[in-house]
């Protein structure tokens, strides 16, 4: 059992200064002037306290983090990137266990305590990605909560054997079923979604679908997803990632889609993409739609950007959505905290007594300042244990 921990003089969510006493990895008590002779004391110095940040969409199995600079090689189309990646995974030996561990440590450095990772399952790598990420999940179980989504990155029906591999991945313990552009990649939306939702039903797991499809074709796929969500009673168990079609200028179409998402409690994941149409976060939130956030690929064969900092991600979402007021910027942060926790079904998430003690301290006056300035993480606590101090991580990556 970890030793009790007393965090003194911290400001949960930028509010009044208080102390938090943590016992058995859980926030036991909150209040000013707490005392606990058996606890290790950490002086917060008035730091702003956030719950652990949530990376709700990334690809741990294929980051190039720590492999030196590799100039981007892929062409502009989605399929160029898929084919280039299939080739480079072999040529560069992008080892899923090693690479996922590196990203986990990098994310932890920035105060991320929960990661949902899509993991490639295809006819080239088979289940090697799943094996690697599951090994990392076990190795870093004390520092990071990791969920895996079995993800048919290369296509599901256009690649013979992938549907069966996806089922194998679910048997290995994947936490959810992934999907990808049912129209534009698999060219058979009904067939694609039947497999994805069929597996979700069979294994009783949630669905998280990459939907890059723009405009009306994305809307069509989204309607099909909503229909299956409703019929299968999977409300609250489905996430649509990227959802570029929600950024379409045809606002009547978008409004109809938002109604469908709200009615079926379907969540949306956004990266705040600067060069693509993007889901309008404030509008989604006003309809009660859960919004979570992710880095997507970090420094991989798809794109050279990303550092795993979910405060920077909140800034990018804020910039993309033209959020300027504090309450708006806080909405972007909410996607990187509570929104992600909701999508991951993280139990005991938060800063109240009874919550699991996943806590990040930063030097900032307000939540909005934390987002725009992304201060170094002074302290990161995972289940009551200090795992980062002044940006230094207590666990190592290979």
**Residue with Cβ nearer a second copy (3 or 303):** 303
Placement of tokens 């995972």 in the chain: 382
| Nearest alpha carbon to residue 236 among 345, 114, 388 | 345
**Residue with Cβ nearer a second copy (266 or 329):** 329
**Residue with Cβ nearer a second copy (68 or 354):** 68
CB 178 within 8 A of CB 208: yes
Distance CA(93)–CA(95), nearest Å, equals 6
Q: How far is the CB of 327 from a second copy (least distance, A)?
A: 9
Q: Among positive and negative, which fits the CA dihedral 104, 108, 110, 116? A: positive
CB 266 within 8 A of CB 299: no
**Residue with Cβ nearer a second copy (325 or 347):** 325
Angle, alpha carbons 184-189-193 (nearest 5°): 125
Q: How far is the CB of 321 from a second copy (least distance, A)?
A: 6
Q: How far is the CB of 336 from a second copy (least distance, A)?
A: 16
CB 315 within 8 A of CB 53: no
Q: Sheet with 291-293: list strands edge to edge.
A: 53-58, 112-120, 145-151, 176-180, 207-211, 238-242, 267-270, 291-293
Contacting positions for a second copy (CB under 8 A): 68-69, 71-74, 272-276, 299, 302-307, 315-316, 318-322, 324-326, 329, 364-366, 368-369, 372-373
**Residue with Cβ nearer a second copy (256 or 304):** 304
Distance CA(394)–CA(192), nearest Å, equals 43
Q: How far is the CB of 155 from a second copy (least distance, A)?
A: 22
Distance CA(356)–CA(376), nearest Å, equals 23
Q: How far is the CB of 332 from a second copy (least distance, A)?
A: 11
**Residue with Cβ nearer a second copy (268 or 298):** 298
Distance CA(50)–CA(311), nearest Å, equals 11
Give the phi and the psi of residue 154 in degrees, each rounded to 5.
Answer: -90, 0
**Residue with Cβ nearer a second copy (223 or 328):** 328
Distance CA(121)–CA(128), nearest Å, equals 8
Q: How far is the CB of 382 from a second copy (least distance, A)?
A: 25
Q: How far is the CB of 390 from a second copy (least distance, A)?
A: 15
**Residue with Cβ nearer a second copy (22 or 368):** 368
C-alpha radius of gyration, the chain, whole number = 21
Q: How far is the CB of 48 from a second copy (least distance, A)?
A: 11
CA 315 remoteness from chain centre: 15
């Amino acid at each position: 059992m970890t030793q009790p921990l007393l965090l003194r003089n911290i400001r949960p969510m930028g509010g009044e200064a208080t102390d938090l006493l943590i016992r058995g990895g859980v926030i036991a008590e909150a209040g000013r002037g707490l005392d606990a002779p058996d606890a290790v004391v950490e002086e917060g110095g008035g730091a702003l306290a956030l719950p652990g940040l949530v990376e709700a969409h990334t690809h741990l199995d294929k980051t190039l983090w720590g492999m030196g600079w590799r100039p981007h090689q892929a062409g502009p189309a989605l399929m160029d990137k898929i084919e280039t990646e299939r080739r480079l995974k072999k040529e560069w030996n992008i080892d899923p266990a090693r690479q996922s561990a590196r990203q986990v440590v990098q994310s932890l450095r920035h105060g991320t305590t929960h990661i949902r990772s899509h993991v490639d399952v295809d006819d080239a790598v088979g289940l090697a990605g799943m094996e690697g990420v599951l090994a990392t999940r076990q190795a870093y179980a004390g520092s990071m909560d990791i969920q895996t989504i079995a993800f048919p990155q290369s296509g599901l029906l256009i690649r013979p054997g992938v549907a069966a591999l996806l089922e194998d991945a679910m048997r290995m313990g994947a936490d959810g079923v992934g999907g990808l552009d049912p129209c534009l990649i698999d060219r058979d939306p009904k067939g694609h979604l039947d497999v994805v939702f069929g597996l979700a039903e069979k294994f009783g797991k949630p669905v998280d679908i990459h939907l890059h499809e723009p405009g009306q074709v994305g809307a069509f796929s989204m309607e099909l997803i909503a229909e299956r969500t409703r019929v299968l009673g999977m409300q609250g168990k489905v996430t649509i990632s990227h959802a570029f079609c929600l950024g379409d200028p045809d606002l009547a179409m978008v409004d109809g889609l938002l109604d469908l998402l709200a009615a079926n409690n379907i969540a949306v994941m956004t990266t705040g993409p600067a060069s693509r149409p993007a889901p309008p976060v404030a509008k989604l939130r006003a309809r009660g739609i859960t919004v979570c956030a992710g880095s997507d690929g970090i420094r991989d064969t798809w794109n050279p950007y990303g550092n795993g900092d979910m405060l920077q991600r909140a800034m990018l979402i804020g910039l993309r959505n033209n959020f300027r007021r504090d309450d708006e910027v806080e909405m972007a942060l909410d996607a990187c905290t509570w929104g992600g926790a909701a999508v991951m079904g993280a139990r005991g998430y938060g800063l109240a007594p009874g919550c699991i003690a996943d806590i990040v301290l930063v030097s900032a006056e307000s939540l909005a300042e934390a987002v725009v300035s992304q201060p170094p993480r002074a302290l990161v606590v995972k289940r009551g244990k200090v795992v980062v101090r002044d940006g230094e991580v207590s666990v190592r990556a290979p």
